[in-house]
Structure 1
Amino acid sequence: MGKLLYGATMSLDGFIAGPNDDMSWLTDFFGPDPVADELVANVGSCLIGARTFWGNDPNAGTDQEGPFGGAWKGPQFVLTHRPHPEPVEDVTFVGDLATAIAESRAAAGDGYACVIGADVARQCLEAGELDEVLVFIAPILLGDGVRLFSHPGGADYRLERPRVHETPHATSLWYRVKK
């Protein structure tokens, strides 16, 4: 069974998307990154939130569209109460978190089931299912948008000391979630 990993690129001030879910800022920070390459090589499936799946892919309509700038293809599980009316290649629409986690872990095999989307990542963390967090911190301040993690009223989830890697495009922090 795959490990559940939340992966995201974040602005220095904590946003993974700008105002109105704008993701276009990310394109300035794409570039060679051995940590991203390592992750992509080990992803077996993706568990994606509906807002992210239906959202603003900065690479829409290009060969870089999709998870990891189009560098990864495989089974995707979208957590949603409104499935797409038409079949979508490699995508399974799932209506509940437990099933989405189980199916994405099983599809990942020995690799990662990569969680994409802040809300679904929060739900996985709250359910005690999230194993790791990988954050690429981009050198930009957005000032508003979708936070990496938000829990009204606060929450206290402990992470182990990260593995750190720097490139000209981002600094990555790879954590294990303490259980």
Structure 2
Amino acid sequence: MRKVTYGGAISLDGFLAGPNEEIDWLRYSDDVAEIMKESFRGVDAMLMGRKTFDFAQRMGGGPPMKGVTTYVFSRTMTEMPDGADGELVSEDVADFVRRIKGEEGGDILVMGGGELGTALIDAGLVDEIGFSIQPVLLGGGIPAFRELSTRVELELIEARPIEPGCVLLRYRVVNRA
């Protein structure tokens, strides 16, 4: 079965972006580049919510990743914008991910924000959670996690400092309480 990982970079107080969607506080280094490269090893599907997709498009969209299909989940979009790389998914996110998780293929990376990540955790479909904790308190913004329906137990896989002044944390999802 394919592994589903939810992660990215967050502030120490748990935000993916600031109150005005700012990400100027994110720190980049060779360590970060290597971690990003490693996190995509073996991945052939990336999941993204519509809000994250819209933000990525405003930031330039990034180059298509060879061998990685981006699935964009939206209840409001009817088609992908011209020139955008990805496949639009309007069906229930848990049903879709449950189906592709059971199919042959590589791992699945969730890059789609707190709503999507939390929905998949709540559905019991996330196997690992990993974040680069940035040394900043934003005080508000876009949270990495929304309210869960139940407690989720985690097992630490990795914890290490990374330059510049960040900490990488990776957990395996053990069970839902």
- Matched length: 168
Q: TM-score, length-normalised on structure 1?
A: 0.80
The reply on whether 1:157 has 2:116 as its aligned counterpart is no
Report the CA distance between 1:134 and its aligned residue: 0.7
**Mapped contact 2:18–2:142 kept (Cα < 8 A):** yes
Q: SS at 1:123's partner residue?
A: helix
2:99, 2:24 → 1: CA distance?
A: 30
Instruction: Please point out which of 162, 175, 178 is paired with 2:174.
Output: 178
- Equivalent pair of 1:46/1:76 in contact (CA under 8 Å): yes
The TM-score with structure 2 as length reference comes to 0.80
Q: Deviations over 1:40-59 (max 9, x none)?
A: 2232111111111112x398
Aligned match for 2:85, one of 85, 89, 96:
89
**In the superposition, relative to structure 1, how do residues 107 and 38 fare at CA in structure 2: closer, same or farther (>3 Å)?**
farther
8 Å CA contact 1:75, 1:91 repeated in 2: yes
* Number of the residue aligned with 1:144: 140
When the two chains are superposed, the root-mean-square deviation of aligned CA atoms in Å is: 2.6
Q: Which has the higher helix share?
A: 1
Give the Cα–Cα distance (whole angstroms) in 1 for the partners of residues 30 and 145 of structure 2: 26
Cα 1:147–1:16 change in 2 (3 A) is same
Deviations, residues 43-100 of structure 1 (Å, cap 9, x unaligned): 2111111111112x39823xxx44xxx5945201111112253453333333311343
State the Cα distance separating 1:22 from its structure 2 match. Answer: 2.4
Trace 1:54-69 onto structure 2 (pairs within 5 A). Answer: 54-55=54-55, 57=56, 60-61=59-60, 65-66=61-62
After superposition, the Cα gap between the structure-2 partners of 1:166 and 1:48, relative to the gap in structure 1 and judged at 3 Å, is same
Indicate conservation of the 8 Å contact 2:70/2:85, yes or no: no
Q: Does 1:18 align with 2:21?
A: no
The answer to whether the Cα contact below 8 Å between 1:24 and 1:58 also exists between their aligned partners in 2 is no
Where 2:153 maps in the other structure, the secondary structure is coil
Equivalent residues of 2:155, 2:172 under 8 A apart: yes
Distance, in Å, in 2 between the alignment partners of 1:150 and 1:53 is: 18
CA positional deviation for 1:32: 1.5
Unaligned ranges ≥5, structure 2: none
> Is 1:31 the equivalent of 2:29?
yes
Percent identical residues: 30
